[in-house]
Amino acid sequence: MKVLAVHPSGLMYTKIFLRLEPLGLEMVAQAIRSAGHQVRLIDLQAEDQEIFFKMLKEWQPEVIAFSCNYMANVPEIIDLAMVTKTLLPQSFIFVGGHSASFISQELLEHGRGAIDCILRGEGESTVIQLLEAIQHDRNAICEVPGVVSSICDGPIPTIPTSLSDLQPARDLLHRRRRYYIADMDPCASIEFSRGCPWDCAFCSAWTFYGRNYRLANPEKVVEDLERIKEPNLFVVDDVAFIQSEPSLELGEAIARKGIKKTYYVETRGDVLLRNREVFAFWKKIGLSNMFIGLEAIDTEGLERFRKRTTLSKNFEALELARSMGFLVAINIIADPSWDHERFEVVRQFCIEVPEIVNLSVFTPYPGTESWYTESRNLITRDYRLFDIQHAVLPTQLPLDEYYQELVKTQEVVNKKFLGWKGLFFVSLYLTKNLLRGQTNMFRLFLGYNRVYNPKLQFADHQMEVKYQIQLPPETPGSVSPEKLYVHA
């Protein structure tokens, strides 16, 4: 069968700070190809929709698979599915991915028959079963784990027995030089582990994986690394280097092969403190950038988000990262309750610490515990605004003032790194990348004010809402974790 795998367009922050390789979709594409099917992949982060429609017309795929990892992409996916069904009425269209797994029924309802099914969970383990059913007996999709359709629900999703069996079809992407994160340009993505054992109230990583945690085989990771041409790598693990011994084993395997790459990881402060020898070793073999989700700079915030750590540990971790020479970015969740004074406190914090500070707006997502406790207070149900850059809950400040304070705070961070000393190092990065034909970071500086603009963010709330996110049937005082899990 001919299968077209589609990743939707980038979100607001991906237009400036990063554009990451669609690794999950590449994994699914490789599974499809290994089963003997023809597969093509198009990433609308890096390609225009005209290329997508041209491929539909000229290649005539029998199956179109959309990846839905972010709520803000839902309207685009639905619209593309509807047009595709009109152009290719005999085609089979399904949607998979992280966010799709939590809103399967409403996606089908919004699609009004254009979407044949949703494939919940980790698609690598079940997509082949789905294609076999499509090819021989479409009614048999009801027997495929994770399938949700208008006529039936399949068994619960299954988990791949081993991450080591999964390899990405990296060759299917034609514009690989368009992927980057900050100054790491170009940048590929890679996976060392999958899952998260913590249970933060605002996060859906643990509810998707059922709090299980799995590691890839070091030999398979090294094989993948040897095929990657890009000098920079973003590690997609939800929390890097949770377990000390396997992390050191992987690093040693990479060192023995003499692989020279630059790495960017996301982790937690308490993991860094506990496994400092792991991070020290990885520093020697290329780890340079680190993202730490602090989320709050006060105890009340940490308790609200259930981070299961302390301020003292977080600040100790930052000191350790500085002493080890890492370039660190930290995340703080901007609460809708913040007033002018609170924003000013955060701005002072941003100025005082040497780290890059990223602000994300508190957003209750389907699949999180916060969705059940906060969603009845929503001021908008427009999927497009569920991107952690827009306020979807009532703000204490008037909404336009909230955006003014939000952007003003982010600008403080930018100006801190664009002083004379900062400009010198930034100009070095820009010159180095431009000489190699890499323009992503250069575009970042040119486009920031066109994207992060309080008037534009406020105006986004005035857009016509074509599709509205559905509220949960009830909002209990507490939610049983078992009810949230995709993989039980």
pTM: 0.93
As annotated, the residues of the chain forming the CATH 3.20.20.70 domain(s) are 179-462
CATH of domain 179-462: 3.20.20.70
As annotated, the residues of the chain forming the CATH 3.40.50.280 domain(s) are 2-148
Average pLDDT by stretches of 10, the chain with 488 residues: 97 82 97 97 96 97 98 98 98 98 97 98 94 93 96 90 85 93 92 93 92 91 96 97 97 97 97 98 98 93 92 96 96 96 95 92 94 92 96 97 95 67 52 59 63 91 96 71 81
What does the pLDDT read at residue 476?
A: 55
For 252-265, the pLDDT digits (tens) are 999 999 999 999 99
What does the pLDDT read at residue 67?
A: 98
What does the pLDDT read at residue 447?
A: 62
CATH superfamily label, 2-148: Cobalamin-binding domain (3.40.50.280)
- In angstroms, the CA 206 to CA 215 distance is 15
- DSSP annotation of 198 reads -
What does the pLDDT read at residue 212?
A: 85
Q: Which pairs count as long-range contacts for 147-152, CB under 8 Å and 24+ apart, including other chains? A: 147/117, 147/118, 147/119, 147/120, 148/104, 148/105, 148/108, 148/117, 148/118, 148/120, 149/108, 149/116, 149/117, 149/118, 150/108, 150/113
What does the pLDDT read at residue 444?
A: 63
What does the pLDDT read at residue 283?
A: 98
What does the pLDDT read at residue 421?
A: 47
